[in-house]
Structure 1
Amino acid sequence: MNTVEMAHLLNYYGFRGFLKSVNARSFIVAVLPENKAHNRKVMEGLRNGKD
């Protein structure tokens, strides 16, 4: 998955921030401090298989 596709996917799930890079195992996102708690909830939902 390239950077643009991953950015669209994260945006679809409501992830807030700016995607900087993607590799096969991880991605790097610049996030404002006030969005960290929201993004953690989004990532937990994705890890647990919830949409």
Structure 2
Amino acid sequence: MNTVEMAQLLKYYRFRGFLKSVNERRFIVAVLPKDKAYNMKVLDKMKRLVE
């Protein structure tokens, strides 16, 4: 998945932050401290859909 596709996916799931980079195993996002808990819930939801 390239950077644009990942950014669209994160936007679709209402992830809060800015995507900085993507590789095969991880992505790096700049996130405000107040949004960390919300984003963890979104990531858990995304992980359940993949498995």
User: What residue in structure 2 maps to residue 8 of structure 1?
Assistant: 8
* TM-score, normalised via structure 1 length: 0.90
Q: What percent of counterpart residues are identical?
A: 67
Question: Which runs of no fewer than 5 residues in structure 2 stay unpaired?
Answer: none
- Alpha-carbon distance in 2 for matches of 1:48, 1:11: 18
User: What residue in structure 1 maps to residue 40 of structure 2?
Assistant: 40
Question: Which runs of no fewer than 5 residues in structure 1 stay unpaired?
Answer: none
3-state DSSP class of the match of 2:44?
helix
Paired residue total: 50
User: CA offset at residue 30 of structure 1?
Assistant: 0.3
- Alpha-carbon distance in 1 for matches of 2:19, 2:39: 13
- Alpha-carbon distance in 1 for matches of 2:4, 2:48: 24
Residues 1-51 of structure 1: CA distance to partner in whole angstroms, max 9, x if unpaired? 1111100100001100000000001000000001001000001111122xx
Read off the aligned partner of 2:14 and give its amino acid letter. G
